[in-house]
Amino acid sequence: MDQRSKYLRCRIIETLNATRRGHVGAALSLVEILRALYDDVLRYDVKNPKWEERDRCILSKGHGCLALYVVLQDKGFFPEEELWRFCEADGLLGGHPEVKVPGVEASTGSLGHGLPIGIGFALNARHEKASHRIFVILGDGECNEGSVWEAALCAGKHKLSNLTVIVDYNQYQSYGPMREVQNLEPFAKKWEAFGFAVKEVNGHDVAALRDAFSALPPDNEKPTAIICHTLKGKGMKCTEGNLKWHHKSGIKDEEIRQLLDEAEAY
Amino acid sequence: MRKMCLDVVHELARRDKRVFFIGSDLGIGTLQKFKEEMPERFFMEGISEANLIGMAAGLAMEGKIPYVNTIATFITRRCFEQVVVDLGLHNLNVRLLGNGGGLVYAPLGPTHEAIEDIAIMRAIPNMTVIAPADANEMRRAMLQSLDHKGPMYIRIAKGGDPIVTTDNIPFKIGKALVMRHGLDALIITTGITLNNGLEAAGRLEQEGIKASVVHVPTIKPLDHEAILRHAKEVPVIVTIEEHSILGGLGGAVAEIVSEANFPTPKKFKRLGIPDVFAEQYGSQAGLMKGFGITTDNIVVTIRNLSKTKAPSGKLIEPQLIKE
């Protein structure tokens, strides 16, 4: 793991430190996906977050917002102090993203909402003959929701090649491993069957993600699904694959120190 | 009423490029001309209401004004959470057109009867809830929907309902309409029950009871001022709606009347569907009669309440006409 990935993870922990609660595991698996998007792929203007020609990126798995906040702040969408007010009464940033946060396209957190909204964005872009693209980041657990598959049907029907679905496929949901709670396999084939062009990639390999996100769409007649194989809690030994860190509250001083130490040592 | 509603969507779409239409799996030929003239703004997306609402939200976030149409129960019950989060929370200009509000789908049974749609929609912050009395009022409401800020739920009745409103009635979203004035009782109506309210007031007048009829096509935001102004001057208030008595017009009126703390207590009765599912099929009119959503029941209720000297706090038993 390079310095930038470590840095972003440390910022996530420092943000978490503000209220000592949050979905840490879900944020840590997203770091490279968001980093690749915001460093290298998405078109945006931090001085004008509603710039019409920007690419739209919806974090449908809103509980991973710690990672999004850190990346948006790193890019300059809002001042650093906001991170230290995470979930506090006078703060901008809550436990799930809301549109009032500059750079956030839709209020999410209740799962299964992002893809239908992304379809509205994509249909509008096509209607306006606009060149911007729409990215929707889904959690794998979120893909239990029927609305995801209603939307997948719709995206396939309309051949929305300006729409890219990115799945953080860490294979864990709140209760346990996906294969035990609600198995999604064969996952790639499901997206293919719904009319998507599908790519699979290591979701922590920044170069591979960059490649996958840059040559879009692979098929001009289809929406794209990029399945990112990730590790829940990636980047600290104590959080990797450890569901105690899916959502945790009452985090102690020594746990924060341990997380930061382990991120540095990774 | 439904034809008028969709005709106005077509008219608005011709006039304003922001207007989009989204249907689920509607009857063959629905808005065929719209589809032919403006196919790029016409979507028929199948039986996938959660997706329809999100899709409409996405379009509205980009400045469009989507009109979403399907059966009222599917808009309100099926994808309630999408309506709350995608439309209410984002305060978007999406118009939900609910076919068959109330007992319209009586022959199809309780799965299709929208008996709590108003209560559901009223509970959502930012949502405007409209139930026009007839096709004329539907037209006026729909024309005003274009530039209204925030999401709207528009309840569509069966169609062929008697025309009781006229163009000289100054319809305005959020305003109650005073259709008749009297100091003995107040009848408050919404949707097609305006017709019953007017008939009942006419009959009561022959008995020497002069009743006001205040029609509430906009249940949310409720015109508190008009309702309280008329409530203040009468001893008896009766609401009537083709909806559960829980959380609809009657509930909304009860909330504001009780909090008004009038110096003299009011006798108050909600007429509507009690807290039950319909056990019979038949016709809309048949079920309405069975539940006492009738002119007769308004007359009897007001007649009895006017005679009763109820000590405050005593529950007055419902009077249901059975034939």
Q: How large is the ipTM?
A: 0.96
Residue numbers of A between 177 and 196 with CB closer than 8 Å to B: none
Quick check: helix, strand or coil at residue A184? coil
pTM comes to: 0.95
Q: What is the CA radius of gyration of chain B?
A: 20
Give the integer Cα–Cα distance in Å for A133 and A138: 16
Residue A164 clears pLDDT 80, i.e. is over it: yes
Cα B65 to Cα B145: distance, rounded to the nearest angstrom: 10
Task: Answer left, alpha or beta for residue B159, where phi above 0 means left and psi between -120 and 50 means alpha.
Answer: left
Give the pLDDT mean for B119-135: 98
Please give the Cα distance from A27 to A31 (Å, whole number).
Answer: 7
Closest chain B residue by Cα to residue A105:
B61
Distance CA B221, CA B238 (A): 20
Mean pLDDT of B38-65: 98
Tally the residues of chain B: 323
Interface test with B, best of A50, A51, A111, A119 (most B CBs within 10 A): A119
Mean pLDDT of B239-258: 98
The yes-or-no verdict on residue B310 having pLDDT over 60 is: no
Kind plus residue range of the DSSP H or E element containing A139: strand A134-139
Give A191: exposed, middle or buried? Use CB within 10 Å, 0-12, 13-18, 19+: buried
| Contact list, A160 vs chain B (CB under 8 Å) | none
Question: Is B196 within 8 Å of B298 (Cβ atoms)?
Answer: yes
- Residue spans of alpha helices (H) in chain B: 2-15, 32-37, 49-61, 72-73, 80-82, 117-122, 135-145, 193-206, 224-232, 249-260, 284-290, 295-307
| pLDDT band at residue B308 under the 50/70/90 scheme | confident
Partner B contacted by A144 (CB < 8 A): no
Q: Is 60 exceeded by the pLDDT of residue A3?
A: yes
- The answer to whether the CB of A100 falls within 8 A of the CB of A82 is no
Chain A nearest-CA residue for B89: A107
Say what the pLDDT of residue A248 is.
87
Q: Do B53 and A154 touch (CB under 8 A)?
A: no
Count of residues in chain A: 266
